[in-house]
A and B are shown apart, each in its own frame.
Chain A
Amino acid sequence: MDYFVELFFSGLTRGSIYALIALGYTMVYGIIGLINFAHGEIYMIGAFTSFVVASVLSIMGLPLLAIIVLAGLAAAIWASAYGYTIEKIAYKPLRNAPRLSPLISAIGMSIFLQNYVLLAQTSNFLPFPELIPDFEFLEPIAHIIGTTDIVILLTTAVSMIALLILIKFTRMGKAMRATAQDKTMARLVGINVDRVISNTFIVGSALAAIGGMLIASHVGQINFYIGFIAGIKAFTAAVLGGIGSIPGAVLGGFILGLTESFATGYVSSDYEDVFAFSLLVLILLFKPAGLLGKSSIEKV
């Protein structure tokens, strides 16, 4: 039973990270109908930025809490800046191009960013500093769920609630929903669609960066390649929940995380990634619209 509960919580932790990244995919897809291939790279850049900032600050001897807050802030700011810039360079000029063009451009961007980090930093795995200490009062349940897991779950929950408030109750969120529904109509009622798209990239990137920092401190090491696999998995989560749907991305993330956790725990850990990819193929085969997505019929 303990093993089951342990797997369950580790699945939740994984799932919440997938959900954080999947939100970025789903928001961008909802608004411009593009799979942002470079989103996984944003997550990786977020993790790297927080690594650099946290290391510099800890060498300077700042207290742990300040390091966590500043590193998280830096990761979110820089990842957002990257997301914004990528949209301006690689996607905006292609907004009216054939469907394949922005997709190829996105793949190119993803390869470019991977190699940029490889050349600017290193190709080796870097040990990520342990940012979150083990709290003593959690000692009795430490064998089931670690402190980092709890911190990750809480941070994810807070980020998601913040996102929900942003989308439901602010002007920007309203503009985002309007743009997602109908871009032309949104422009007609005076919404600056270009700015809404930029904002979407900024918000999505910040969420991915937070996910990147959390998972890096959980796993304990980072590498320029982590964004690729995480990106495909988060995309799987987004598709599973129904791409374009925000609650769907969260649900999809948790389902994927739990599936992976139980499959690796009970079947085999060698094929961890194969489970996720097979799940992706299966959903697209049987329910391409996802769990909460609307299936749309293409009209001429």
Chain B
Amino acid sequence: MNFAEIRRALGVALWFVFLTFPLMVIRVDSIESTIEWRWMNMLWVAVGSFALSLLTSWYFRRREAAVGKVSDKPPLAVRLRTWTADPARRLPLFGALAAFAIVFPFLFSSYQTNIMTTALMYVVLGLGLNIVVGLAGLLDLGYVAFYAVGAYSYALLNTHFGLGFWTVLPIGAALAALFGILLGFPVLRLRGDYLAIVTLAFGEIIRLVLENWNDFSQGPSGISNIERPALFGIELTLNQSITYLYFLMLLMVIITIFVVNRLQDSRIGRAWLALREDDIACQAMGIDKTKTKLTAFALGATWAGMVGVIFAAKTTFINPASFTFLESAIILAIVVLGGMGSILGVIIGAFILILLPEYLRALADYRMLAFGAILVTMMIFRPQGIIANVRRTYQFTRKDA
């Protein structure tokens, strides 16, 4: 830490004090005509921005010092992969994880189980969005629309026609996929940034229609008394059904991981990666761009549709307020934090972003603030996410070394 850095940090602190002055310090009650001066906030801003400025200059100094030096340690993802490649380590690790996942609902209260189910739902949503954003490189900001399609198809088919959970699960998935293709068609020609805005508008259109079309969706008041899923016709108590949903979600996560993993290495998965890296070169290699983009949208939407059905069954009540843009932003933050294109990364990202705010209730108000900050800081400091997606490579090690 040198003098120039401290002087810079002081300048930054002063600037932020000025910047945040009208909104952080002053608060006006215009009905009572009183002004509240919150000088403490000014102090916090000054101290906080001073510390952050020092921290970033320290970080950049360190990074500059590291330039030129080649690190002999391979990236985290590669180390993890080599470490778990050994069956002697892999089997006990996976066994322990599986055992923990199975006994979880019996060890902890139903409240905890419920939270865990929610986290698992976000794991699947994250993995679904990961197909579109991480693999195919199409920034979809209206992902929540497909989630809404799934949830509303179960809610409506159940209340109007009495269709059960298991019947609607594939229907919801198919409808969501259909909407994915519907959205996919108009945006096929658009470049990255336009695509983002149009998907955002699409998500908002779906929500606004659900909010205003009272005859169809009962508007903002939503649909209540949706049936919980049945287990071979056996009536379940509330606690049992929470446990049941937990296992259902667990199964779903496992299936999703399996399918996405296989998809990645398939022909279409390779085509997505090619599209993400360079769409002109991708076309030149004879890949059908239209088909590749549409399948990415459709397959990504399918997972959202299924989770939507489960969401409606879990909460037994849905309204359009559950499907705002912020929901899309949360799922995007999961993918970005974990690492775009990396399955393990997305899982970790979902657990961090969903479980942490649940257990740090005191900080719940700052949740969205943190999500926004995470998106910005990750892009600047670690765009590849916690677990970077590394191409599979062969590694040769000498036996006698």
Output the nearest chain A residue to B27 by Cβ-Cβ distance: A121
Chain B contacts for A49, CB-based, 8 A: 22-23
**A115 engages B190 (CB within 8 Å):** no
Stretch at the interface among A16-24, A96-104, A139-147: A96-104
Chain B contacts for A228, CB-based, 8 A: 325
Known pairs A232-B197, A271-B212; A298 contacts B280 (CB<8 A): yes
**B369 engages A119 (CB within 8 Å):** yes
Chain B contacts for A235, CB-based, 8 A: 197
Chain A contacts for B329, CB-based, 8 A: 107, 111
Instruction: Select which of B18, B26, B41, B372 is within 8 A of A108 by beta carbon.
Output: B372
**A112 engages B366 (CB within 8 Å):** no
Closest chain A CB from B5 CB (angstroms): 17
Closest chain A CB from B18 CB (angstroms): 7
**A284 engages B190 (CB within 8 Å):** yes
Closest chain A CB from B74 CB (angstroms): 22
Q: Interface digits, A176-190 against B, CB 8 Å rule (1 contact, 0 not)?
A: 000000000000000
Size band of the B side of the interface? 35 or more
Cα A105 to Cα B333 in complex, Å, equals 11
Chain B contacts for A129, CB-based, 8 A: 30
Q: Interface digits, B181-205 against A, CB 8 Å rule (1 contact, 0 not)?
A: 0000011011011101110111011
**A109 engages B192 (CB within 8 Å):** no
Chain A contacts for B137, CB-based, 8 A: 100
Instruction: Select which of B20, B187, B375 is within 8 A of A107 by beta carbon.
Output: B375
**B192 engages A103 (CB within 8 Å):** yes
Chain A contacts for B26, CB-based, 8 A: 52, 56
**A109 engages B28 (CB within 8 Å):** no
Chain B contacts for A122, CB-based, 8 A: 27
B374 adjacent to chain A (CB < 8 Å): yes
**B193 engages A99 (CB within 8 Å):** yes
**A108 engages B22 (CB within 8 Å):** no
B332 adjacent to chain A (CB < 8 Å): yes
Chain A contacts for B373, CB-based, 8 A: 108, 112
Cα A273 to Cα B202 in complex, Å, equals 11
**A120 engages B208 (CB within 8 Å):** no
A89 adjacent to chain B (CB < 8 Å): yes
Chain A contacts for B205, CB-based, 8 A: 274, 277-278
Chain A contacts for B280, CB-based, 8 A: 298, 300
**B376 engages A120 (CB within 8 Å):** no
B96 adjacent to chain A (CB < 8 Å): no
B15 adjacent to chain A (CB < 8 Å): yes
Which residues 90-143 of A have a CB within 8 angstroms of B? 90, 93-94, 97-105, 107-117, 119-122, 126-127, 129
Which residues 61-86 of B have a CB within 8 angstroms of A? none
A201 adjacent to chain B (CB < 8 Å): no
Chain B contacts for A64, CB-based, 8 A: none
**A56 engages B383 (CB within 8 Å):** no
**A103 engages B368 (CB within 8 Å):** no
Instruction: Select which of A35, A97, A117, A273 is within 8 A of B204 by beta carbon.
Output: A273
**A34 engages B371 (CB within 8 Å):** no
Chain B contacts for A288, CB-based, 8 A: 189-190, 194
Output the nearest chain A residue to B202 by Cβ-Cβ distance: A281
Output the nearest chain A residue to B326 by Cβ-Cβ distance: A111
Which interface residue of B18, B34, B198, B333 has the most chain A CB atoms within 10 A?
B198
Output the nearest chain B residue to A286 by Cβ-Cβ distance: B186
Chain B contacts for A34, CB-based, 8 A: 193
Which interface residue of B30, B186, B325, B368 has the most chain A CB atoms within 10 A?
B30
Which interface residue of A35, A100, A105 has the most chain B CB atoms within 10 A?
A100
B215 adjacent to chain A (CB < 8 Å): no
B99 adjacent to chain A (CB < 8 Å): no
Output the nearest chain A residue to B21 by Cβ-Cβ distance: A78
Instruction: Select which of B19, B332, B369 is within 8 A of A104 by beta carbon.
Output: B332
**B198 engages A280 (CB within 8 Å):** yes
Q: How many residues of A contact B (CB 8 A)?
A: 65
Instruction: Select which of B23, B34, B202, B366 is within 8 A of A52 by beta carbon.
Output: B23
Known pairs A82-B19, A116-B369, A278-B205; A97 contacts B379 (CB<8 A): yes
**A48 engages B23 (CB within 8 Å):** yes
Known pairs A105-B380, A120-B23, A271-B208; A113 contacts B372 (CB<8 A): yes
Known pairs A126-B30, A274-B205; A104 contacts B139 (CB<8 A): yes
B141 adjacent to chain A (CB < 8 Å): yes
Which residues 273-307 of B have a CB within 8 angstroms of A? 280
Q: Interface digits, B24-42 against A, CB 8 Å rule (1 contact, 0 not)?
A: 1011101101110000010
A264 adjacent to chain B (CB < 8 Å): no
Chain A contacts for B139, CB-based, 8 A: 100, 103-104
Closest chain B CB from A71 CB (angstroms): 10
Closest chain B CB from A204 CB (angstroms): 17
Closest chain B CB from A235 CB (angstroms): 6
**A105 engages B22 (CB within 8 Å):** no
Chain A contacts for B163, CB-based, 8 A: none
Output the nearest chain B residue to A74 by Cβ-Cβ distance: B22
**B194 engages A239 (CB within 8 Å):** yes
A65 adjacent to chain B (CB < 8 Å): no
Closest chain A CB from B353 CB (angstroms): 13
**A285 engages B368 (CB within 8 Å):** no
A45 adjacent to chain B (CB < 8 Å): yes
Which interface residue of B23, B333, B368, B374 has the most chain A CB atoms within 10 A?
B23
A1 adjacent to chain B (CB < 8 Å): no
B400 adjacent to chain A (CB < 8 Å): no
Known pairs A120-B23, A281-B186; A108 contacts B208 (CB<8 A): no
Closest chain B CB from A59 CB (angstroms): 5
Known pairs A100-B139, A101-B379, A281-B202; A35 contacts B369 (CB<8 A): no
26 contacts between A and B (CB under 8 A): A35-B197, A49-B22, A49-B23, A56-B28, A59-B34, A59-B35, A74-B22, A78-B22, A89-B376, A90-B379, A94-B379, A98-B383, A105-B376, A108-B375, A111-B375, A112-B376, A116-B23, A117-B23, A119-B366, A120-B24, A126-B30, A232-B200, A239-B197, A270-B212, A273-B204, A277-B208
Closest 4 A/B residue pairs (Cβ): A108-B375, A112-B372, A111-B372, A277-B201
